[in-house]
Homo-oligomer: A and B are copies of this chain.
Amino acid sequence: MNNNQFVTELSDINTNFAQWYTDVILKTDMVDYGPVKGTMVIKPYGYAIWENIQAYLNDKFKKLGVQNAYFPMFIPESYLKKEAEHVEGFAPEVAVVTYAGGEELNEKLIIRPTSETIICDMYSKWIKSYRDLPVKMNQWCNVVRWEKTTRPFLRTSEFLWQEGHTVQSCPEDAETDTQVMLKVYSDCLKDLMAIPTLTGRKTEKEKFAGAVATYGMEAIMKDGKCLQAGTTHNLGQNFAKASNIKFLNKDGELEYGYSTSWGVSTRLIGALVMVHGDERGLRMPPNIAPIQAVIIPIASKVSGVIEKCNEVKTLLETANMRVKLDDSNNTPGWKFNEYEMKGVPLRIEIGPRDIEAGVATVVRRDTHEKSTLHLNNIANEVADMLAKIQANMLKQAQENLNNAIVETDDYNTMVEQVNNKKVALCYHCGDMTCEEEIKNNTTIKTRVIHSYDTTHKCIYCNKPSKYRVYFGKQY
């Protein structure tokens, strides 16, 4: 839905990051607000990013033996209550259907905030023997968590995600699933989205409601805040016991299964915006960009220009690149601005002088560098340049991540640094009450555990340390 107005300015990214974020996602047609408070419409330019994430993950899942399936959205209220910690964690934010088909329902239906309870219930019907294990299923679906404060992609009442659920016959294999999937996620962010992450186990206080252990993947935004970009949960036998998933093991004994769950959501799109964006708008890493290169004709009415643009488009598409030719009546200047704001990694300008010289003029979105490529080798040279852009954007993001981390043993320094857009790596005792006090005093939470270390002192209470952990502000 282009309209022919000249692009409006964005808010300043350095002084008003929150408003910059809202401006850029709305103005680039990634998203709009839905009519119900807290909901979003994911527009095609945003949804295409999600589809690229889906394609990447589906491929990885398949290679790991995970099969896609679909489970009902409606969960009987009684199911959610099966696992004590789980219901406590989710009850405050569920949406509830109380009547349907013109009648009040006998049992209220919860719209899934996550599907552990219903999937484990089905698994309990299907799993009888160790020969049925492992079970590895995934679903792509919508979930609902009624949030007070919402922002498109980052926190919305309804969002899209994938949730994988496995059952294994021993705790070790469940732990392996949990860690393998964390690696799949962090590879996805790194290789597809050029986003480096901090990965590790979450503290007891921050783990998923009902899990034995939760692992998290944290991406650091340009304002220094952390965004939990994905989690994997080792559920131990907790949900198996709640749902009665029992299998006959090799010794002929009935045993509860060992389950895991893991998910990433459309908030990854928000991470993409906030890790790579700059004062001019979005910057899309080529591997995930809905449009990898935009071709803009210069002096398009001169004979041969549009033809050459179309020829280049076909060559790039044949080489599996995602290309757009903008042959609209807007001026080249308008188009430069538009696709810069949309973050298209490479702009290809083709005019009469370029054609005469046998070249195309290209401008990189990541460095703003202008150069020329040979028309007679254009597909190869564009592919090379996209690979360079991808690598450079990962390098830039890695530098930002490295620069964001400070190591300190002093509590006041930690608080000061985190309030100053940093992530602090500190020793902590692992005590939930201690962690809670820090949070209550500062709104600062632990992100993921860096490493286990009992030779130091807790940054807050001075008791012996249990681990080093990242502290940060969060989205």
CB distance from A46 to the nearest CB of B (A): 8
The answer on a CB contact under 8 Å between A51 and B73 is no
Min C-beta distance of A383 to chain B, whole Å: 22
Chain A contact patch, size range: 35 or more
A35 within 8 A of B: yes
- CB of A135 closer than 8 Å to a CB of B: yes
**Does B135 lie within 8 Å of A1, measured CB to CB?**
yes
* Inter-subunit contact A71/B122 (CB<8 Å): no
Residues of B within 8 A of A2 (CB): 131-132
Q: Of B35, B92, B121, which contacts A101 at CB under 8 A?
A: B92
In the complex, per-residue mask of A19-45: 1 if CB is within 8 Å of any chain B CB, else 0:
000000000000010111001111110
Assess the A41–B122 pair: CB atoms within 8 A. Answer: yes
Instruction: Determine whether the beta carbon of B1 is less than 8 Å from that of A32.
Output: no
Let me know if B101 and A146 touch, CB within 8 A: yes
A160, B70: Cβ atoms closer than 8 Å: yes
Distance between Cα atoms of A131 and B111 in the complex (Å): 40
Which residues of chain A in 337-354 are interfacial with respect to chain B, using CB atoms and an 8 Å cutoff?
Answer: none
Interface residue? A424 (CB, 8 A): no
A41 and B70 contact, CB distance less than 8 A:
yes
On whether the beta carbons of A68 and B44 are closer than 8 Å, the reply is: yes
- A333 interface contact, C-beta 8 A: no
Query: Binary interface profile of A, 160-200, with partner B (CB < 8 Å = 1, else 0)?
Result: 10000000000000000000000000000000000000000
Say yes or no for A385: interface residue by CB 8 A criterion.
no
Residues of B within 8 A of A160 (CB): 70
Asked whether, in the complex, the Cβ of B42 is within 8 Å of the Cβ of A70, the reply is yes
A118 within 8 A of B: yes
- Roughly how many angstroms separate A330 CA and B51 CA in the complex, as a whole number? 39
Q: Is the CB of A35 within 8 A of B76?
A: yes
Q: How far is the CB of A43 from chain B (nearest CB, A)?
A: 6
**Chain B nearest Cβ from A155, distance in angstroms:** 13
Beyond A95-B97, A101-B146, is A36–B132 a contact (Cβ under 8 Å)? no
B96 touches A36 (CB 8 A): no
Contact at B41–A72, with CB atoms within 8 Å?
Answer: yes
From B36, B42, B129, B147, give the contact of A109 (CB < 8 A).
B36
Q: Tell me if A67 counts as interface (CB < 8 A to partner B).
A: yes
Q: A35-B118, A128-B3 are in contact. Are A74 and B42 (CB under 8 A)?
A: no
A121 CA to B101 CA, complexed, in Å: 25
* Cβ B158 vs Cβ A72 within 8 A: yes
Distance, CA A135 to CA B29, complexed state (A): 14
Within 8 A of B (CB), among A62-84: 67-76, 79
Q: Considering only CB atoms, which chain B residue lies closest to A79 in the complex?
A: B35
Contacts of A334 in B (CB 8 A): none
The answer to whether A57 has its CB under 8 Å from any CB of chain B is no
Are A35 and B121 in contact, with the CB atoms below 8 A?
Answer: yes
Q: Verify if A148 is at the interface (C-beta below 8 Å from B).
A: yes
User: Can you list 9 pairs linking A and B with CB atoms under 8 Å apart?
Assistant: A3-B131, A35-B72, A35-B79, A42-B69, A42-B71, A47-B68, A48-B67, A51-B68, A91-B102
Known A-B contacts: A41-B69, A96-B99, A101-B146. Give 16 more (CB < 8 A).
Answer: A1-B132, A32-B122, A34-B122, A36-B72, A40-B72, A41-B72, A73-B142, A74-B158, A91-B102, A92-B102, A96-B98, A96-B100, A98-B98, A101-B148, A141-B142, A142-B142
